[in-house]
Structure 1
Amino acid sequence: MAVTAKQSSVPAPTAARSRRRSSLGARDRTFGFMLAVPAVALFLVVAVYPLVASIGTSLYDQSLIRPERRFVGLGNFVDVWPVFVDRLGNTLVFSTLATIFPLLIGVALAIFLNSRLRGRNILRGLLMLPWLLPGVVVSFLWAWIFNDSYGVINHILTQVGLPSVDFLGRPMTAMLSVVIAKTWNTFPWIMVVVLAVLQTLPREQLEAAALDGASRIQRFRHVSLPHLIGPVALVTMLEFIYNFGSFDMIFVMTGGGPGTSTMTLAVSLYQYAFTEFSLGRAAAMGVLWLGTLSLVCGAYFMINRKLES
């Protein structure tokens, strides 16, 4: 009987420890939930609510200059669809060119600065300056450079006997001018990313390739390039997504003109909302823009997952 009583009293401490562990687990979960509540609330206020409100506004004929609004269903989408298709073409042209040019310049400069060069640290710092300037400042700077009356480029052209060019007043040159300004502003961060990857390359592989008689081009192709493909692909997608929503540089330099040659989705949405005061059409343009950008982001995540695997 004494043995039986002793055996029955053994599980008591184990059950108590189990209850304490369960209580501590519940407290940890409650504490973690309380920590997440502010972040979730901020996300709902900053991201989810504006999105839902924009989708709701896109279904109404609503204006900034009159308080009432009228339900029109998909009428706003029908009205802005032809404009959206035209502006989407300009946006894709700008995003593509403003991604390719900085990529080429950034990669080339990163390879150049990765070599043993005197004063390369000073040169790296100087090349970072365009990235540190705000986009509006860069826009005014390049608008002055390309100005047809007192711009630096036209001054040089007239000094050598060539006619001046209205860079910002012609459709082809206006888009190219904005792309050049954007390229000058964004190539440094691509250069920094590629340079950081080059700095982490295994030196023993490069030295082994050099001992085997591989030229500098062969070493770059067979040793450096495989390490660069992943980071460069991700940087390219991120830069394209960012350029897809670029507004400040185009708006300051050309305002979407001449005509609609540089009118992107961002500038068009601004005109709907704050020039025509049509919030319904602006919201419809924004919803279509969001849908297109979601496809681009989906491609980015697919590429990222494939590179990680």
Structure 2
Amino acid sequence: MAISTEPPPVRTPARATPTAPPRSAGARDRTFGFLLAAPALALFLVVAVYPLVAGLVTSFYDQSLVRPERRYVGLANYTAVWPDFVDRLGTTLVFSGLATVFPLAVGLGLAVLLNARLRGRGLLRGALMLPWLLPGVVVSFLWAWIFNDSYGVLNHLLAGAGLPEVDFLGRPATAMAAVVVAKTWNSFPWVMVVALAALQSLPREQLEAAALDGATRLQRFRHVSMPHLAGPVALVAMLEFIYNFGSFDMIFVMTGGGPGTSTMTLAVSLYRYAFTEFSLGRAAAMGVLWLISLSVVCAAYFLLDKRLESR
């Protein structure tokens, strides 16, 4: 029997078909997160980005609410509204500054008062929150009635005291003051809440140690409480200033920007361009300039916030 000396044939193993690598958990999470954020992103694009781009484009056209066609005019709208913008910006800064300082002072003072041990301070805190809960339009009509020169409560009290009546909303010297008073009454509660929360988070040991060292109440407030309040109060002040910079309802309801232009802020001026003169192009140009100035204020807020966080 013949014996074969040839080696047995070697079988080459079949190559495995390459398959796509499985998706990592991180990729699936990113896709799922994008799907969750997609509706909010679409809403943001429709509500915020599209009007912003449309307004920017409209600012370069002569466009009106009373005629369908529009004509490209370049920077003519910006040139036309620039003098008004400078004047309205000054009025807006005055209103924003006054409507920030006075609520800050009133809210901080009430926070210090309510932080003390008083009878019924819980009820008092709740009552002082009422102006903040009311809508701005309601507050505006309330104070317009109080300051009315014909049947207002304030003039009735002045007449009862034998003093001359004052047309608060009809005089340039008093119209801005009247609006600031109304805004102060509407805004001081949230300043009070933030300041009171900061005071109540202050460790009692620090105040007790200062008292043992012989510090008076004023010294304890100045050297212990105020440094603890500085951060929250500064941020509240900046946020209030930004909100007042775009305030419209209170000024429009109480004075309509008058008398004359004494209370004509950027918001009211933009409204008049759009819905009194029907000039959408000039209103859009005013809005773009307003946005740029507000961006500067917001940038200052973020810088302040970053500086306070780094401390």
TM-score range, shorter chain: over 0.9
TM-score of the pair, normalised by structure 1 = 0.92
Quote the residue 1:210 is aligned against: 211
Name the SS for the 1:276 alignment partner.
coil
The number of residue pairs the alignment matches comes to 291
In the aligned structure 2, how far is the partner of 1:31 from the partner of 1:67? 44
1:11-22 pair list within 5 angstroms: 22=23
Name the SS for the 1:183 alignment partner.
helix
In the aligned structure 2, how far is the partner of 1:56 from the partner of 1:298? 24
Tell me whether 34-43 or 130-139 shows the greater mean CA deviation.
Answer: 34-43
In the aligned structure 1, how far is the partner of 2:67 from the partner of 2:107? 49
Quote the residue 2:194 is aligned against: 193
Q: Which amino acid aligns with 1:61?
A: D
| % identical aligned pairs | 79
In the aligned structure 1, how far is the partner of 2:51 from the partner of 2:217? 53
Quote the residue 1:7 is aligned against: none
Pairing 1:162–2:148 present: no
Consecutive aligned runs of 4 or more in structure 1 exceeding 3 Å deviation: none
Cα shift at 1:71: 0.2
1:97-108 pair list within 5 angstroms: 97-108=98-109
In the aligned structure 1, how far is the partner of 2:171 from the partner of 2:155? 14
Tell me whether 36-45 or 248-257 shows the greater mean CA deviation.
Answer: 36-45
Quote the residue 1:268 is aligned against: 269
Q: Unmatched 5+ residue regions in structure 1?
A: 1-15
Q: Which amino acid aligns with 1:143?
A: A
In the aligned structure 2, how far is the partner of 1:243 from the partner of 1:28? 41
In the aligned structure 2, how far is the partner of 1:39 from the partner of 1:252? 33
1:125-136 pair list within 5 angstroms: 125-136=126-137
Higher-helix-fraction structure: 1
In the aligned structure 2, how far is the partner of 1:76 from the partner of 1:259? 23
Q: Which amino acid aligns with 1:103?
A: L
In the aligned structure 2, how far is the partner of 1:249 from the partner of 1:26? 50
Q: Which amino acid aligns with 2:298?
A: C
Quote the residue 1:78 is aligned against: 79
TM-score of the pair, normalised by structure 2 = 0.92
Superimposed CA distance per residue, residues 160-187 of structure 1 (whole angstroms, 9 cap, x where no aligned partner): 2111100000001000000000000000
Name the SS for the 2:263 alignment partner.
coil
Cα shift at 1:23: 2.9
Quote the residue 1:178 is aligned against: 179
Q: Unmatched 5+ residue regions in structure 2?
A: 1-18
Larger CA Rg, structure 1 vs 2: 2
Q: Which amino acid aligns with 1:87?
A: R
